[in-house]
Amino acid sequence: MTTSASETVREILAILGHTYPEAHSELNFDTPFHLLVATILSAQCTDQRVNQVTARLFRSYPKPEDLLRLGEDGLEEEIRECGLFRNKAKNILATCRVLIDRYGGEVPATLEELNSLPGVGRKTANVVGSNAFSIPTIAVDTHVLRVSNRLGLAESDNVDKVEAQLREKIPREQWIKAHHWLIWHGRRICQARHPKCEICPLNTHCSYFKA
């Protein structure tokens, strides 16, 4: 008896959920603002490094107005370890100004408003929206892109297309969890260069393993 595509998706999600029941964002944050800044800093940088930087940064500069007082040169020095620090500093400070001028210093709680902030693209808006405000969405980073393509949940190298395909196949109530499951699987087993296919609980569903 042939397994339907929807049954395969359900099976994949069930295995991921069983394998990573505690999956969550690995960026440390106390407030939506902290998560927003951390997510901007995470571009081309590991979460571990970002957590080291933000732990130090937010002890002294926890709010938008604090970062603005720090200034561009000061912020660049604080976040230098994250890479691309000049561009990130400009975007973070520009976002801080918008938050203060338009939102009373608070991070807006809609994807449209988040996406309008300087330096905040669709992925960052989705990460903040889902983790800070529980908005059902799927942020597509390099891990989600790779794993979803290998498992046949998506078929594209374009992040927007992959997001659309995942939203179509995965039940809405599982979008946030599935995002974390896919990331954890990509970091722990389904790595880019040396995936641990021999111990992967999903290798029978994986085109990369079969190839």
Please state the separation of Cα 75 from the chain's center in Å.
23
Q: Which residue has the tokens 């902030």?
A: 117
In CATH, the number for domain 5-23+137-210 is: 1.10.1670.10
Q: Alpha helix (H) ranges present in the chain?
A: 5-19, 32-41, 47-60, 64-79, 85-103, 111-115, 122-133, 142-150, 159-169, 175-188, 207-210
Compute the average pLDDT of residues 11-26.
97
* Mean pLDDT confidence for 176-186: 98
pLDDT tens, 148-178? 999 999 999 999 999 999 999 999 999 999 9
pLDDT tops 90 at residue 208 = no
Residue 2's pLDDT is: 42
Q: Tell me the average pLDDT across 175-188.
A: 97
Choose, from 141, 160, 161, 210, the residue flagged as catalytic. 141
Active-site residue, selected from the candidate residues 123, 160, 177, 196:
123
Mean pLDDT of the chain: 95
Say yes or no to pLDDT of 55 above 60: yes
Active site residue 141: yes
Claim: this prediction has a pTM higher than 0.85: yes
Band the pLDDT of 3: cuts 50, 70, 90.
low
- The domain 32-106: what is its CATH number? 1.10.340.30
What number is the average pLDDT over the span 63-83?
96
How does DSSP classify residue 110? S
Enumerate the domain spans of the chain. Answer: 5-23+137-210, 32-106
- Is 88 catalytic? The answer is no
Tokens matching residue 82? 């994250």
pLDDT score of 145 more than 90: yes
For residues 46-73, average pLDDT: 96
Query: Within 10 Å of residue 110's Cβ, how many Cβ atoms?
Result: 12
